[in-house]
Amino acid sequence: MTLKSTICALLAALSLPAFGGPMLETLNYARFYNASDPRSWNACQSATSACQGSVAVPGTNFTAHYHSHGSADYGILKNYAAVSLSGDASAGAFPSFFSGGSRSGFIDSYTFTGGEGSGTAYFTFAVDGITSQSGGAYGGSLFQYVPANNGVLDWAGQRNFSVIDGVGTITVPIVFGSPVDMLLSFYALAQVFQWEEGSAAMADFSHTAILSKIAVRDSAGQLVEDFAIASASGTRYGANGVVSEPGSAALLLAGLGTAAYWRRKRKQPGI
């Protein structure tokens, strides 16, 4: 099994319970995986606060240090994860791996119009972040799509999507005129796979993954130019991702104008 397939196979263990409608979610964790049980045990897991601390690695002379945090809004996801090892391998290695991660996502129900029959929606995120890794550690990121049926997330139907050159695109099957419920998530991952002294990894995506584009194609692969989306959350989605509310845009412009005014005033003598 490859490193990527191992990561993807274990993400479903961090599942959500049934939900009652649109919602935002985050999950920060530091977890040991045992070779015989992928649900091994958590050093930390929280949906409301950051995970940060240190823990002795069972059966070894290593100590694992971890830090993860994240936040979510519709179309805006932020995540950070870091792990490192201190100590040495004099007493051997842990039989599997240690994972620090942060997941943020949003569940919504979307109804697409503008075409007929089935089609495909493409949710494209612009991702701003950096990763680093040394020794036997890995730092990275990925997006995840999980369909939902009758208020229950279908983790068996989950699909994972890579980030390539700062872009991640999630493809979603749709039927025009019929609601489609799903969870779209983003992960920052920092993991130790080989127990070597000084191993460390960091995945800093706290500068956000932003939904920047939505495209729709029909069953023949033709681009649907004039599609529209209605959402259960009331979020306004369009070709450029999430559409800002007019009031929010006005407040932003007013704030920028005020800031510019005070910058000019400070340049005047005596201010």
DSSP string, 1-69: --HHHHHHHHHGGG-----SS-EEEEEEEEEEEETTEEEEEEEEEESSS-EEEEEEPTTSEEEEEEEEE
Q: What are phi and psi of 20, to 5 degrees?
A: -105, 5
Residue 82 tokens read as 């870091």
Question: Measured between alpha carbons, how far is 4 from 27 in angstroms, rounded to an integer?
Answer: 20
In which element (H, E) is residue 248 found?
A: helix 246-266
Per residue in 81-136, pLDDT (tens digit) is: 999 999 999 999 888 899 999 999 999 999 999 999 999 999 999 999 999 999 99
Q: Quick one: pLDDT at residue 85?
A: 96
pLDDT-based confidence at 36, cuts 50/70/90?
low
| pTM for this prediction | 0.83
Q: Where are the domains of the chain?
A: 3-112+128-208, 246-271
Counting Cβ atoms within 10 Å, is residue 91 exposed (0-12), middle (13-18) or buried (19+)? exposed
Per residue in 183-241, pLDDT (tens digit) is: 999 999 999 999 999 999 999 999 889 999 999 999 999 999 999 999 999 999 999 99
Instruction: Please give the residue that has the higher pLDDT: either 245 or 79.
Output: 79
Q: What are phi and psi of 74, to 5 degrees?
A: -65, 110
Q: Quick one: pLDDT at residue 214?
A: 98
Q: Quick one: pLDDT at residue 246?
A: 57
pLDDT-based confidence at 244, cuts 50/70/90?
confident
Of 8-17, 72-81, 252-261, which one has max mean pLDDT? 72-81
Residue 11 has pLDDT above 60, yes or no: no
DSSP string, 107-146: EEEEEEESS-SEEEEEEEEEE--EEEEETTEEEEEEEEEE
Per residue in 140-167, pLDDT (tens digit) is: 999 999 999 888 899 899 999 999 999 9
Say which residue the tokens 């036997």 belong to.
136
- Determine which of 33-37, 172-176, 257-261 has the lowest per-residue pLDDT on average: 257-261
Task: Answer whether 143's CB lies under 8 Å from 184's CB.
Answer: yes
Q: Quick one: pLDDT at residue 10?
A: 54
